[in-house]
Amino acid sequence: MNAGAHAGEVAVVTGANKGLGREIARRLAQEGMVVHLGARDEERGRAAAEELRGDGGDVRFLQLDVTDQDQVDAAEARVEAKNGRLDVLVNNAGTLLELDTPVTEAGGDQLRDTYEVNLFGAIALTRAFVPLLRRSAPARVVNMSTPLGSMSLAGDPETHFSKMGLLAYSSSKAALNCTTVLYANALRDKGVLVNSAWPGFVATDLNRQRGSLTIEQGAELPVELALLGSNGPTGGFFMRGEDGTRTSVPW
């Protein structure tokens, strides 16, 4: 394990029993962090945490359905009791329920269920952990987003993103981006950095493995933002540019 600048820091990663969340948890553990691996499914979550511990990381299963306020509160209480603070929160849990649903047919439960996870869940977690984040300087919050939540790109008929037509998913991520900015403004003077990250079009279960990037490639930017120093950006929306460097996504 890496005994560098982030050794001993504490992280929570939601939706981390598989895919991108699991890889982010693995890499933060490699940095020497104590990683609480949040997952709804206890069996899968414990198995993922055990497997990552086999790689030498301090990874602990955290029962966490982000739509269940009791579980959110219990997760915060557990981290406080075990660690007393939080350095990194990665709001990775997300859902996409309308991959083949036209905009004009989306609605009802699709919208409610999508917002419960993608927006309200991220807000519930951030709100619960703010007191612990304030005990660390700098602390970092990373919200997983997408250009599908960019008003600028959605409003440009020449872009690929304007043609995707995912009403619930796109609008929930646009709202999450706004949430990123509002939290960044509110916590700026507390040493808490809050940013949105687009990992790229990663092949995951969320998109039925249609993505062109690997999980390993997709984890690079979220982890970079999770490791920012005190002089790092806050209130930004970032992606990897063609040259591989971090670049801004238009709001």
The pLDDT of 151-161, averaged and rounded, is 92
How far is the C-alpha of 126 from the C-alpha of 218, rounded, in Å? 22
Residue 1 lies in a domain: no
pLDDT greater than 80 at residue 81: yes
Does pLDDT of 4 surpass 90?
Answer: no
In a domain, 3, yes or no: no
Domain that holds residue 134: 10-248
4 inside domain: no
Percent of the chain beyond pLDDT 70? 95
Residue 124 has pLDDT above 70, yes or no: yes
Asked if residue 2 is part of any domain, the answer here is: no
Give CA 74 to chain center in angstroms. Answer: 19
- Identify the residue with better confidence: 163 or 242: 163
Which of 61, 115, 120, 169 does the annotation list as catalytic? 169
* Catalytic site includes residue 169: yes
Cα within 13 Å of Cα(227), Cβ side: 19
pLDDT tier, 206 (very low <50, low <70, confident <90, very high otherwise): low
pLDDT of 145 reads 97
Q: Which amino acid is at 225?
A: L
Q: Which residues of 36-74 are buried (b: 16+ CB within 10 A; e: fewer)?
A: bbbbbeeeebbebbeebbeeebbbbbbbbbbbbeebbee
CATH of the domain at 60: 3.40.50.720
Instruction: Establish if 112 belongs to a structural domain.
Output: yes
| pLDDT value at 211 more than 70 | no
Confirm whether 5 is domain-assigned. no
pTM here is 0.95
Residue at 68 is within a domain = yes
- Split into its structural domains, the chain has a count of 1
**Is residue 101 situated within a structural domain?**
yes
Average pLDDT, the chain: 93
